A and B are shown apart, each in its own frame.
Chain A
C-alpha cells in the first residue's frame, strides 16, 4: 500500500495547540491519525480503493467554545484547514484533499446536554451529545425529539446545524434543519456568532431573529458538512412524546423490545402496488394520523427482509440461518405479503384519539386495498418495531450483510414522483447485483422516511446496496453501481441521488466545479462563494461547503456576483 501524504506541523504551531487544549488532547502519532483517516466510504472514492481518507496533520480535542475559537484562529494564522466532527461518521468528516494540511477537530469532549427548557420545549446541546442521550432525558419530561435517519448514535448539533436531519419521526416532529433554534457558531475566521434570539441576548428560542438570521448561510438544505466553521452549541425543538416517561425495555439482545402503550399502535402495513403506496402516503398525510412513519425493514431487501428480521429476533440464530428461513413456505408467503410495505406508529393524546386514528387507518387501508401484515403486528414484532423506530438504536444494521453499504437514489419529492423512480432503482440493483459482487437481496432494498418534512408532503427512498469493503472486486462493483445509478437517474429525467454526493468526495476540484456548473441552479454556488469569501477569507474550511470559483462563473453567468 502506498504511504500516506504526511503533513508535519511547525513545532511552534503544534506547541500552540498543546497550549490551547492541553498536550494530552492533541496528537500527531501516525497510528492515531490513521484512526481518523479511516472512514466509511473512503474505499469508494480514494485511489486504489484505499480505506483511508487523507491523513490529518494533527487531531485536536477542544473542550469549550473558547478552545475551538483559539484553534480556528491558530489555523488562520498558520494556513491550516480545520475539519470538525462530532461523532465522526462519513468519509467527508475526514480531510478531503491530500495536499491540505488539516487539523481534525474531534469534538467528543464537548458532549454536554446544557438544558432542557420544558415549558418552551427545547434542549440545548453540545456537539457530542447524541440523540439517544437527549431523547432519554426528554422522555422523562414527556417530551421527545426527532432522531435523524442515521440513528440515535448521531450528534444533534451535526444534523441540526451542519447536515441533514430527517428521520422516521420527521413527519410528526419536523426535521432537524427546521427544528434548530439558536446556534453558537465559531466562524472560519474564529469569531463567535450566536444566531437568532441567542444573538440578541434573548435565549435560545428562535433561530431567525431577534438577532442574526443566518440559518440559510450556516446550513441551507444539506448543511456545510464541516466546511464552514464549527458549531459548538445549538438548541433543538422538542415534541410531545405521548408515551411513558420511562421505558421498560425488554427482549433479548440484540432485538430489544419496547411495550406498546395503550394509546399507541405499531403496524407494518402493505399495499399491492407502488401506485397504492403513493396513494396511502397521501392519505396518511391528508388525514394527519401517525407519529412515526417510515419504510424501515425493507433495507434488508424485499426478498430477504422477513426472514432476516425473524432471524434477528431469535438470539440463537445468525445470518447462516437466513437461507433456510427464506425457503420455508410460510416465510415465502410472508415475503410476498409484505413486498411493498412500511411501518407506522400511531400515538394518541387519549384513548379516544388513538381509536379514531385506528379507524381512519382502517378506512385508508380499505380505500387503497392495503392490509396489516399480521405477523409483524403480533406483540413480539410490534414491540421490536416500536423499540427500533422510537430509539433508532439499530441503524447500523445497514451494514449487516457484509460491512459495506452505499445509499443510492433517495431523491426527495412527492410520493407519486418517488413512485416514478422506484422501478428504475429496482431494475438497477437487480442488474448490478446479478454478477454476485453485490448482496443479492432483491431489487427493492429501499428505505426512507414517510415524510421528510413535518406534516407530510414529500418523501424519498434510499436504495441499500451492500458490498464487501474487504473484497476489492466487490468494492469496485459498488462503485460501478453508484455510477450506474447516476446514469439511470439522469437518463430517466431524475436528478442524481445520494450516490452522486458520495462520489463527489473523491473528485478533483475541476470535476466538482464542472458538476456545479451543470447543476440546475449554478448561481447558488456562486452565491456560496461570496459567503465563503465573507466568512472564510483564509480558506480554512474545506470544499464540503461547495462553491464555484469566481472566474469560472463570471464567464458563463454574467459578472458572477
Chain B
C-alpha cells in the first residue's frame, strides 16, 4: 500500500466531520458526544480522520511538505477507530482508519517517526517486546500455575499473556487469574515460554516490516508447536492475532479469554457462585470492540455500478465495528452474582478510547493521560464504584489517571472479578 492508494478516499471525503463524533443516534448528552480524542485534544481539523486524509492529499499534491507539525498530526492519534465507525455510518467507499495507518507508515519510511519511537522499536526488533524484558522475566508470571510447556507437552489452547500483563507487576495477578479460571473450568492450558512480543505495537507505530518479521516468527513457532487455538487476555494482542496476523499467514483460531470464559459459563463448565457486590461499568477496549472484527481475506478492485456508484469486485469486507466483541464481556459480568453492570454513555462501538492506543502511551504520555481522564469522568458519572476492562494497556492508563485525578473509582480486569466469583480469588479483587 502507499499514500496514493488512498487518493480516492481523500477526494471523496466531504469534510462532514462525522469522524469527530460518536454515531449521532447514540448521543445522550452534550458532555459525552465527542468521539475522537485527537481532535478534542489538539483542535485543528488536521487532527481528525478527515483532516489527515487531506493532509495526505496535500503531501501527494506537493502543496505541503513533511514538517514537524505533519509528524505531530500523524502520530498524535490513538488509532482507536471511532472515525472508522462514524464515517461508515453513511459510506461504503471509505477506509479512514486504514488511511491513518498508511500515513504513519509513509512517514516512518521517510525517516520521520517521532524521536520517542526509536528505543521502542529497537526493543521490538531485539525480540524483547516493547518493554525490553528478558524471556525469564517475561515468564515469571506463570510460576506455580501448572501450565504446560508446549515445547514438550500438548494442551487445548496456547495461552498468550501479552507483554504488559506478564511484565507489569501490578497486572500479573490478572494474567494469573485468567489461567486459574481456565484451569478451574477444565481447560488444558499451554504456553510457549520463548515467544516474545506479538509486534502489534510495531504495526501501529508504522513499522510494517518489523511487524511482518515478528508475525512470521511467531506463526512459525506456533506451527512448530502445533498450536490450533490461541487465547489471550490482552485486547491488543487479540486484535494483532485476529486481524493483522492473517495478512501474513495463519489459520489459527484466536479467542480473547473473555470469549472463552463466556462459552465456559454458557455450557456450564464454569460456575460463578460467589457474590461480587460491586457496581461496575465496562470499558470496551478499541481492539476488542470496534476493531475486534474477524479478518476476511480480500483482493479485488473498485468498479462502478449505476454509472458512478462505487463497489468492489469481489465485494470488499466491511469493517465498521458492528461485529466487534461487545457482548461476551457483558455476559460474563452479568453472570457474576450480585454484580450490577451500568453502562457509560459511550459504549460498544461508540466507546471513548482509554488513550493508550496508537503508541500514544509511549510517545505522548500527557495526551494519553488526558484521554484516560476523560473516560474516568464518564465512568464516574455512571455512579459505578468500579471500572472494568479487558485490556492491559487500558487498565494501566486508567489506573494512572485515577491516581492523578484522585477519582474514587477502582479499576479491574473483568477476569479479576470472575476469579473472585469462582471462589478462588479471595474477597477483595
Contact = CB atoms under 8 A, between A and B. Distances in A.
Interface string A383-416: 0000100011111111111111000000000000
A437 B308 CA distance: 6
Contacts of B316: 318, 320
Interface string A118-152: 00000000000110111111000000000000011
A451 interface: no
Given A153-B24, A402-B12, 7 more contacts: A40-B16, A247-B28, A318-B315, A319-B309, A397-B90, A401-B308, A468-B12
B46 A35 contact: yes
B34 to A, nearest CB: 9
6 closest A-B pairs by beta carbon, nearest first, are: A403-B12, A393-B24, A30-B64, A320-B315, A256-B25, A34-B58
B65 interface: yes
Interface stretch (B67-75, B160-168, B351-359): B67-75
B87 to A, nearest CB: 8
A25 interface: yes
A106 B91 CA distance: 26
B73 A136 contact: no
B63 A4 contact: yes
- By secondary structure, the B interface counts as loop
Interface string B19-57: 001011111111001000001000111100011001101
A402 B11 CA distance: 10
B267 interface: no
Nearest to A250: B25
A501 interface: no
A130 B20 CA distance: 12
A249 interface: yes
Contact of A468 (B13, B18, B308): B308
A400 B322 CA distance: 18
A31 B67 contact: yes
A31 B65 CA distance: 7
B334 interface: no
Contacts of A4: 63
Interface string B296-327: 00000000111111111001101011110000
28 contacts: A29-B64, A29-B67, A34-B55, A38-B57, A38-B58, A40-B14, A106-B45, A129-B30, A130-B21, A133-B30, A136-B30, A136-B33, A137-B29, A137-B30, A318-B318, A319-B92, A320-B312, A395-B90, A397-B90, A398-B90, A400-B90, A400-B92, A403-B14, A404-B14, A439-B307, A440-B306, A470-B8, A470-B11
Contacts, number: 238
A36 interface: yes
A61 interface: yes
Nearest to A93: B15
Contacts of A404: 12, 14
Interface residues of B, number: 66
Contacts of B39: 108
A433 interface: yes
A466 B90 contact: no
Contact of A249 (B25, B92, B311): B25
B339 to A, nearest CB: 22
- How many residues of A sit at the interface, in one of the four size bands? 35 or more
Contacts of A35: 44-46, 50-51, 54-55, 58
Given A38-B15, A439-B308, A252 B91 contact: no
Contacts of B64: 29-31, 34
A290 interface: no
Interface string A461-476: 0000011111100100
B85 interface: yes
B24 A391 contact: yes
B153 interface: no
A400 B54 CA distance: 19
Interface of B: 7-8, 11-18, 21, 23-30, 33, 39, 43-46, 50-51, 54-55, 57-59, 61-65, 67, 69-70, 73, 85, 88-94, 304-312, 315-316, 318, 320-323, 349
Contact of A136 (B29, B57, B349): B29
Contacts of B54: 34-35, 38
A443 interface: no
A538 interface: no
A87 interface: yes
Given A29-B70, A129-B30, A153-B21, A254 B88 contact: yes
Contacts of A130: 21, 33
A17 to B, nearest CB: 14
Given A51-B11, A253-B322, A469-B12, A438 B307 contact: yes
B310 A319 contact: yes
B33 A254 contact: no
B420 to A, nearest CB: 31
A89 B65 contact: no
B93 A315 contact: no
A151 B67 CA distance: 36
